[in-house]
């Protein structure tokens, strides 16, 4: 069997068989979904259960109105208190309130300026935390104002619901749905970002392991250093691909199972409706193909650089981190740029960012869901792919030169300058 | 017939002439000692022979043909001084993997590994991991992985470091065995007593150049100092030794070590003692040990090579 194939096989099998691979494959989607639901849950939950005592000096707020609001949403409760301000200030805690609020007598419905009251609380609460209480007060307040202005329910609905909304639609790509596209673009770019960093550093650690275990010289007496490096990169790349395909398989299984059993109404039903909408509004095969292409292209581009660094340093993790910092920075800059380009997916920054190889894997994946050729003309896609292929051929060649020298070097950590010298030395 | 011929090999690094015009000839079946102080260029020389480095200049002939790293490294087994194995990999799998990289098929590798494991009493190790092994045990495993594919040329760099005397003998016997079967062994070490015991031929390298090359016997003859140890049945007195025939290096009651002056033969010395009426019990030449020769040849060079710019 071909030696590079043997190396690929070993690198692949030892990693896929590890428990950590299986666990991370299962855990990542669970954590990812958990994170999304968790943060929104926390966002909703935080600021709840505020029990606020209200002293109304203005005379606008009556018990009935507060009670009605408390009935509608019991997450925070407002209670009208008939006490002097000083004694409420002293006793609100013992009376079971989290805070109190004094509505001044100066409050006037005809005023044309906003009002700022203070919510006095026993513990520190952010602006967000005060939001539910503020919403309740405003509900009551607008009710009062409407009544005074003689606005009835019909007029009120017209005032509130009759608004103008904008939805961008590219004339060259009628099918594109920018809402869905934004979501897909974000998920795809983020996945590539995670995989580049995660598996790039796996390549670096793998090379470092060969150095620390002192097996590097044994290996290069059997195979060429370039074969060793390539085998490792491809092997680990296949691991990343396997993991990604498993995730895709999960999604399809969940989708099919849930559409078979849970299509009747409810949250599940609306989710499936959403997924169906996603699948009809975008070109799934093209996105999937591009995703795999940019995943692998970006992986080869970056991981060979990571391999070069792994070969240059000794067992010291800190050395590796400081030397790989510029490369990690490139990946992080790409994801930061992607968020900017998603707002304007056909602007000059988006176009160039998606053609230059170091950022193209992430930024192009942030543009493609907006539509090909509507947002991304074919020439840009082809130029980007060609540039990425040329880019990773260059980095692999460049890294191979550094790797060959570095893997047999022990001692002081080389500088970037020395590594460049290794790369451009003859033979 | 020679298995390996090196013609004027050169390899310069940015700050060192690591190998500077070395030629060598190693015969089939020989156990060849490659000696030299630290940093003499041995490792660089070996790395060129194993195809890890390309020489800047010169030519390597392997088994009568020009050395072709891609195809010939399968016929070489190299155990470097910086050696190691994948710690987390199972021993059986790892040995199989390394053998396959040397060009063996999986079944062939499997069969040979089993033979060696039984021979070295390692058959219970198959499913253990390398990290479970002691230093000596992993050394044995490393030796097996080096010779498993029956290489024609085996290069061992400090093969006995970390081994106890029992395992040292086990490996030593195996080295003789492999040489007997026709393999050629290049043995690189600092341990001169091992070289003296094992090697038939040696070369000494210093500062990137070969400074000595020959059979162990010949080298010792070349560097002999005409020292003799003479034992007598009688007490030796100072007046017995007051003569311009030899110089006394060491004197005990009935035994002297002398250095025979140039121009005189052993017979002259014996004649003299017999004429003095001393009864001689033994008369032996003291040949220098390789250790002595090594120190004499490289002892006056600075202990560390200095870095300097090389203009090639």
Domain boundary residue, one of B189, B221, B253: B221
Residue with the larger pLDDT of the pair A32 and B272? B272
Q: Is the pLDDT of residue B200 over 70?
A: yes
Mean pLDDT, range B133-156, rounded to an integer: 91
Number of neighbouring beta carbons within 10 Å of residue A104: 11
Give the domain-ending residue among B170, B191, B221.
B221
Considering the domain architecture, whether residues B78 and B210 belong to the same structural domain is answered as: yes
Bridge partner list, B24: B6
- As a residue count, chain B comes to 312
The residues facing B210 across adjacent strands are B205
Asked whether the beta carbons of residue B85 and residue A215 sit closer than 8 angstroms, the reply is yes
Contacting residues for A257 by C-beta, under 8 A, at least 6 apart: none
Tens digits of residue pLDDT in A171-181: 666 656 677 77
Q: Are B24 and B93 contained in the same domain?
A: yes
- B7 and B144 share a domain? yes
Taking contacts as CB-CB distances below 8 angstroms, the residues of chain B near A221 are: 50-52, 73, 76, 78, 80
Please report, rounded to a whole number, the percentage of residues in chain B having pLDDT higher than 90.
31
Cross-chain Cβ contact A410/B73 below 8 Å: no
> Within 10 Å of residue A265's Cβ, how many Cβ atoms?
8
Burial of A344 per CB tally in 10 Å (0-12, 13-18, 19+)? exposed
Domain shared by B14 and B158, yes or no: yes
CB distance A14–B79 less than 8 Å? no
Helices assigned H by DSSP within B24-101: 42-49, 69-72, 91-101
Residue A249 burial (10 A CB sphere; 0-12, 13-18, 19+)? exposed
Strands of the sheet containing B17-27, edge to edge, are B17-27, B2-12, B57-62, B65-66
In this structure, the answer to whether residues B214 and B281 fall within a common structural domain is no
Residues B83 and B187 in one domain: yes
Which among A3, A215, A220 has the least Cβ separation from residue B84?
Answer: A215
Query: Domain range holding B196?
Result: 2-221
Domain boundaries defined on chain A:
3-31+177-424, 49-155
How many distinct structural domains can be found in chain B?
2
Query: In which band, very low, low, confident or very high, does the pLDDT at A265 lie, cut at 50, 70 and 90?
Result: very low
Residues B208, B112: one domain?
Answer: yes
Query: Mind giving me the DSSP string for B214-271?
Result: EEHHHHHHHT---EEEEEESS---HHHH-STTEEEEEE-SSEEEEEEPTT--HHHHHH
Instruction: State whether B170 and B229 are in the same domain.
Output: no
CATH number at residue B271: 3.30.70.1560
Q: How much is the CA Rg of chain A, to the nearest whole Å?
A: 30
Q: Are residues B264 and B165 in the same domain?
A: no
Residue of A nearest to B51 (CA): A221
Model pLDDT, residue A39? 72
Q: Parallel, antiparallel, or unpaired: how do β-strands B201-206 and A99-103 relate?
A: unpaired
Same domain? B189 vs B231 = no
Q: Give, in order, the Cα–Cα distances in Å from A84 to each of A101, A283, B60.
A: 12, 66, 104
Cβ distance A222 to A293 under 8 Å? no
- Alpha helix ranges (H) inside A262-377: 266-281, 284-312, 317-343, 348-353, 360-367
Q: What average pLDDT score do residues A12-16 get?
A: 92
Q: Specify if B119 maps to a domain.
A: yes
| Over residues A148-158, mean pLDDT | 86
B229 and B217, same structural domain?
A: no
Q: Which of A427, A386, A408 is nearest to A293 (CA)?
A: A386
Same domain, B174 and B269: no
**Cβ <8 Å between A221 and B145:** no
DSSP B99: H
Q: Is the pLDDT of residue A271 over 70?
A: no
B304 chain-A contacts, CB cut-off 8 A: none
Closest CA to B151 of B98, B83, B198: B98
**Domain termination site, one of B198, B221, B244:** B221
Distance from CA of B310 to the nearest CA of A (A): 15
CATH class of A49-155: alpha beta
Residues of chain B contacting A10 with CB distance shorter than 8 Å = 97
Residue A12 has pLDDT above 90, yes or no: yes
pLDDT at B222 over 70: yes
Q: How far is Cα B209 from Cα B188, in angstroms, rounded to an integer?
A: 16
């Amino acid at each position: 069997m071909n030696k590079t194939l043997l190396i690929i096989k070993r690198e692949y099998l030892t990693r896929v068989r590890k428990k950590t691979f299986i666990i991370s494959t299962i855990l990542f989607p669970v954590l990812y979904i958990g994170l999304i639901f968790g943060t929104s849950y926390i966002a909703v939950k935080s600021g709840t259960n505020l029990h606020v005592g209200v002293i109304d000096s203005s005379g606008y707020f009556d018990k009935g109105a507060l009670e009605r609001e408390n009935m509608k949403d019991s997450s925070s409760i407002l209670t009208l208190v008939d006490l002097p301000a000083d004694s409420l200030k002293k006793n609100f805690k013992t009376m079971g309130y989290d805070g109190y609020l004094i509505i001044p007598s100066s409050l006037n419905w005809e005023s044309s300026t906003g009002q700022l009251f203070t919510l006095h609380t026993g513990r520190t609460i952010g602006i967000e935390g005060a939001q539910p209480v503020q919403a309740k007060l405003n509900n009551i307040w607008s009710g009062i104002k409407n009544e005074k202005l003689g606005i009835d329910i019909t007029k009120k609905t017209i005032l509130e619901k009759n608004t103008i909304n904008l939805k961008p639609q590219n004339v060259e790509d009628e099918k594109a749905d920018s809402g869905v596209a934004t979501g897909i673009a974000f998920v795809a770019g983020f996945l590539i970002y995670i995989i580049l960093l995660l598996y790039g550093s796996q390549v670096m650690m793998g090379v470092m392991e060969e150095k620390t275990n002192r097996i590097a010289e044994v290996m290069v007496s059997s195979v060429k250093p370039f074969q060793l490096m390539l085998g490792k990169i491809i092997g680990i790349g296949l691991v990343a691909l396997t993991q990604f395909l498993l995730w895709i398989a999960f999604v399809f299984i969940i989708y099919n199972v849930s559409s078979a059993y849970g299509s009747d109404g409810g949250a599940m039903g609306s989710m499936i409706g959403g997924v169906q909408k996603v699948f009809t509004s975008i070109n799934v095969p093209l996105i999937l193909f591009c995703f795999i292409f940019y995943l692998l292209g970006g992986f080869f581009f970056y991981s060979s650089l990571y391999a070069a660094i792994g070969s240059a340093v000794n067992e010291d993790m800190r050395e590796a981190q400081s030397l790989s910092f510029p490369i990690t920075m490139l990946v992080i800059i790409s994801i930061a740029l992607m968020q900017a380009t998603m707002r304007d997916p056909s602007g000059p920054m988006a176009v160039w960012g998606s053609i230059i190889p170091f950022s193209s894997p992430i930024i192009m994946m942030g543009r493609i869901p907006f539509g090909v050729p509507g947002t991304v003309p074919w020439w840009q896609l082809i130029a980007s792919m060609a540039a990425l292929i040329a880019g990773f051929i260059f980095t692999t060649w460049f890294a191979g030169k550094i790797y060959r020298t570095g893997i047999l070097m022990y001692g002081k950590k080389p500088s970037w300058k020395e590594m460049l010298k290794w790369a451009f030395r003859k033979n | 017939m020679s298995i390996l011929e090196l013609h004027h090999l050169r390899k310069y690094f940015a700050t060192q002439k690591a190998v500077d015009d070395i030629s060598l000839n190693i015969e089939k079946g020989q156990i060849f000692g490659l000696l030299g102080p630290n940093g003499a260029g041995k490792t660089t020389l070996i790395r060129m022979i194993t195809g890890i480095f390309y020489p800047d200049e010169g030519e390597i002939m392997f088994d009568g043909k020009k050395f072709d790293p891609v195809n010939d490294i399968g016929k070489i087994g190299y155990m470097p001084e910086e050696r190691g194995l994948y710690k987390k990999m199972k021993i059986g799998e790892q040995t199989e993997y390394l053998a396959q990289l040397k060009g063996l098929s999986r079944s062939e590798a499997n069969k040979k590994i089993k033979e060696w494991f039984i021979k070295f009493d390692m058959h219970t190790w198959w499913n253990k991991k390398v990290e479970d092994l002691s230093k000596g045990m992993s050394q044995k495993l490393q030796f097996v992985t080096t010779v498993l594919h029956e290489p024609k040329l085996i290069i061992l760099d400090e093969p006995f470091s970390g081994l106890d005397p029992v395992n040292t003998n086990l490996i030593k016997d195996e080295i003789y065995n492999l040489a007997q079967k026709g393999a050629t062994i290049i043995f690189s070490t600092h341990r001169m007593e091992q070289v003296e015991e094992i090697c038939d031929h040696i070369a000494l390298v210093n500062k990137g150049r070969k400074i000595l090359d020959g059979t162990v016997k010949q080298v010792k003859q070349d560097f002999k100092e005409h020292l003799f140890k003479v034992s007598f049945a009688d007490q030796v007195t100072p007046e017995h030794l007051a003569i311009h025939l030899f110089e006394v290096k060491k004197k005990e009651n009935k035994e002297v070590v002398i250095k025979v002056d140039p121009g005189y033969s052993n017979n002259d010395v014996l004649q003299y003692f017999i004429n003095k009426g001393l009864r001689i019990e033994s008369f032996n030449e003291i040949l220098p040990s390789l250790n002595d020769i090594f120190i004499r040849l490289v002892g006056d060079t600075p202990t560390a090579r200095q870095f300097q710019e090389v203009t090639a």
